Amino acid sequence: MIPVGGQFLEVVAPVREGTTAGRYLQRRGGDGGYMLIFQSDDQESHRTRILSMGWRIVTDFESHGYRCMQVHPADSGGTFLEIDRQDPWDDWHPAGPRWRDHVDTRTATGFAQADIGCTDPAGVSARWGAAMDLPVTIGRNCGMHKVRPDGFCVRFTPAGPRGEGLDTVEVKVRDTDEVIERSRSRGLPVHDGAVTIGGVAFVPVRD
């Protein structure tokens, strides 16, 4: 769990055969994006909508004021969708009680956008919008379907050869050139302004 401003990048690695994450990575042919997690102070409304749409909730538990709700990706389409509640709002139980001690915004300050590859971008974006009670818009420049939770954008793009999944994440940074140069110096693949790590293209954008 890596804090990026007040948000988190969570790295998941299967440690045994037969896990959900492992099967997902096998279907995509290797490492890649796995899930988008959102925080809501009205999780029950989301739950009601999701169940009314016939979606399956595959993970549902509560601990230390934190309530996790994850839906089946075959129902949502695109990738795993998780909507959680945390009380108090500024805590985040999965990150432990001292996560703020590790926040460093000298380089990266948060996430701006995620691209989800879909076999049916229009249909998947409509389902996500309905589940999250948000409108679907069309990008003026890119022409892609978008859903915009508070301070963030989910863009639904045509799936590539790897099939559906979380493909790209835009990261808000202080200096895009510095991030690209530091990535190259560490031997990371850089192409068209994106740094590929773990099968995900991370695109630095100026905050």
How many structural domains compose the chain?
2
Q: What are phi and psi of 114, to 5 degrees?
A: -130, 140
Mean pLDDT calculated for residue range 92-119: 96
pLDDT given for residue 141 in this prediction? 86
| Separation between Cα atoms, residue 159 and residue 167, nearest integer Å | 9
Domain residues for 143?
104-206
Based on the fold, state whether residues 87 and 142 are members of the same structural domain.
no
pLDDT band at 13 (very low <50, low <70, confident <90, very high): confident
Closest Cα to residue 165, out of 23, 50, 54?
A: 23
Q: What is the CATH number of the domain that holds 139?
A: 3.10.180.10
Looking at residue 24, its pLDDT comes to 84
The residues pairing with 97 across neighbouring beta strands, listed in sequence order, are none
> Which pairs count as long-range contacts for 128-131, CB under 8 Å and 24+ apart, including other chains?
128/76, 128/77, 128/78, 128/81, 128/154, 128/156, 130/49, 130/53, 131/46, 131/49, 131/50, 131/53, 131/55, 131/71, 131/76, 131/81
> Among 43, 68, 100, which residue terminates a domain?
100
* Same-domain status, 92 and 118: no
Please indicate, yes or no, whether residues 66 and 158 belong to a single structural domain of this protein: no
So what's the pLDDT on residue 113?
98
CB 7 within 8 Å of CB 111: yes
End of a domain among 100, 122, 153? 100
Q: Give yes or no: residues 140 and 188 share one domain.
A: yes
Question: Tell me, what's the pLDDT at 60?
Answer: 96
pLDDT at 18: 87
Residues 136 and 70 in one domain: no
The per-residue pLDDT for range 121-179, each reduced to its tens digit, is 999 999 999 999 999 999 888 899 999 999 999 999 999 999 999 999 999 999 999 99
Task: Say whether both 126 and 183 belong to one domain.
Answer: yes
The CATH number of residue 35's host domain is 3.30.720.110
| 200: confidence class by pLDDT, cuts 50, 70, 90 | very high
Whole-number pLDDT of residue 20: 82
Q: Which of 36, 38, 27, 81 has the alpha carbon at shortest distance from 56?
A: 81
- Long-range residue pairs from 184-188, CB within 8 A, at least 24 positions apart, any chain: none
- Tell whether 20 and 93 lie within a shared domain: yes
Phi, then psi, of 190 in degrees rounded to 5: -125, 125
pLDDT digits (tens, 9 = 90+) for 51-101: 999 999 999 999 999 999 999 999 999 999 999 999 999 999 999 999 999
- Are 69 and 112 in the same domain? no
Q: Are 94 and 142 within one domain?
A: no
- Residue 149: the pLDDT is 95
Alpha helix segments (H runs only) across the chain: 20-28, 43-52, 73-76, 121-132, 176-185
Q: Are residues 200 and 115 in the same domain?
A: yes
Stated pTM of the model: 0.94
